Amino acid sequence: MDPLFGHRMPVLACGHIVVRGLRPSDEGAWTDLLHRNRTWLHPWEATLPGGRALPAMPFRSFVRLDRSMWRKGRALSMAIEFDGTLVGRIAITGIEWGSACNGSIGYWIDEGHAGRGIVPQAAALLVRYGFSQGLHRVEIAARPENVSSLRVAKKLGFRDEGLRRRYLYIDGDWRDHRVFALTSDERRLGDLWRCEG
């Protein structure tokens, strides 16, 4: 049977950065965050082929889905807080157990908080937690022109595994992605990994 992460999503923290599950009470702040960053995020958001947006759902259903996927051990989807304010999203999705024990991490940050080292630290917290729960390998897939995401992978010590051609449908076309990976036995012990989560 596949492992389960448990009924309560953890709260992972390092200094001013907290990674936690979304709560129903976050709806107003979350809606504002998404609205404020619509233009900033558009070039990087996956869509369905043909340019259709992924289906929207009510916020409470979104929170319930996150929790359900968590309990089933299929995704670790969290909000990023900085100084008590919601500033982004981070998730390990596509989790496979069995002989693979892997998943893919994705993230985004509020434009006003970009470039402050928040995402690399949040990613270190979540990846370390995933490893502690039995994941063996985590991948990051980033578009080659997304310099910020490429920097996150490098700061975390992820290994560059090359280019996946026409990997995801984003901003009106199939886009190439560079793929980076890290396994639980090769994690570097740099500054980003030192905080207790």
pLDDT per position as a tens digit, 156-197: 999 999 999 999 999 889 999 999 999 998 866 455 666 654
Mean of pLDDT over the chain: 90
- The pLDDT tens digits of the residues spanning 67-89 come to 999 999 999 999 999 999 999 99
Cβ proximity of 17 and 11 under 8 Å: no
pLDDT digits (tens, 9 = 90+) for 52-62: 666 788 999 99
Q: Give the pLDDT of residue 55.
A: 74
More reliable by pLDDT, 186 or 138: 138
Query: Could you write out the DSSP letters of every residue in 47-104?
Result: -BTTTBPPPP--HHHHHHHHHHHHHTTS-EEEEEEETTEEEEEEEEEEEE-TTT-EEE
What pTM was computed for the model? 0.91
Q: How far apart are the C-alpha atoms of 78 and 31, rounded to whole Å?
A: 15
Split at pLDDT 50, 70, 90, the class of 105 is very high
**Confidence at residue 83, expressed as pLDDT on a 0 to 100 scale:** 97
Domain ranges of the chain: 12-193
pLDDT at 18: 98
Task: Give me the CATH code for the 12-193 domain, please.
Answer: 3.40.630.30
Chain-centre distance for alpha carbon 85: 17
